[in-house]
């Protein structure tokens, strides 16, 4: 395992991103036909949220925690690639930006993620998602 040093800001980003991960997982569980307490009135998850829920079920919580840790640095770089006005569109950071960042990431069933690799391109994708769902 590679040793890394993380800053307080990295740890905050991981915590915010993990909160978004857990929220998607809980939304999926409430809709999961294998859950005996499923809420049948809720529509199934779609798109990236459904893929994240499936990946979580396949790889488990530990792997998804590691995914959050691995994505946090890029989330910080994405935030920094935004202008102040763009950041303002995504405030609060923990309840708007982190979930929007997570929402544009594509997942395969084995827990691997795909997203734009340039922070500015990712910022554009996050802003497009945020504006569409505002």
Confidence of residue 2 (pLDDT cuts 50, 70, 90): confident
The tens digit of pLDDT for each residue in 60-112 reads: 999 999 999 999 999 999 999 999 999 999 999 999 999 999 999 999 999 99
Confidence of residue 1 (pLDDT cuts 50, 70, 90): low
> What is the predicted pLDDT for the residue at 61?
97
Q: How far is CA 79 from CA 2, 6, 18, 22, 121, in A?
A: 25, 17, 16, 21, 11
- Bond preceding residue 24 cis, omega within 30 of 0: no
- pLDDT averaged over the chain? 94
Whole-prediction pTM value? 0.92
Distance CA 134, CA 127 (A): 10
If residue 34 lies in a helix (H) or strand (E), which one and from where to where? none
């Amino acid at each position: 395992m590679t040793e890394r040093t993380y800053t307080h800001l990295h740890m905050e980003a991981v915590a915010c991103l993990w909160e978004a991960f857990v929220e998607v997982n809980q939304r999926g569980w409430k809709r999961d036909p294998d859950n005996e307490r499923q809420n049948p009135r809720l529509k199934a998850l779609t798109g990236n949220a459904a893929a994240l829920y499936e990946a979580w079920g396949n790889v488990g919580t530990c792997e998804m925690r590691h995914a959050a840790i691995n994505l946090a640095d890029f989330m910080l770089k994405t935030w920094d690639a935004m202008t102040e006005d763009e950041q303002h569109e995504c405030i609060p950071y923990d309840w708007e930006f982190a979930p929007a960042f997570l929402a544009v990431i594509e997942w395969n069933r084995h827990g691997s993620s795909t997203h734009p690799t340039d922070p500015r391109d990712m910022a554009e994708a996050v802003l497009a998602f945020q504006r569409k769902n505002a």
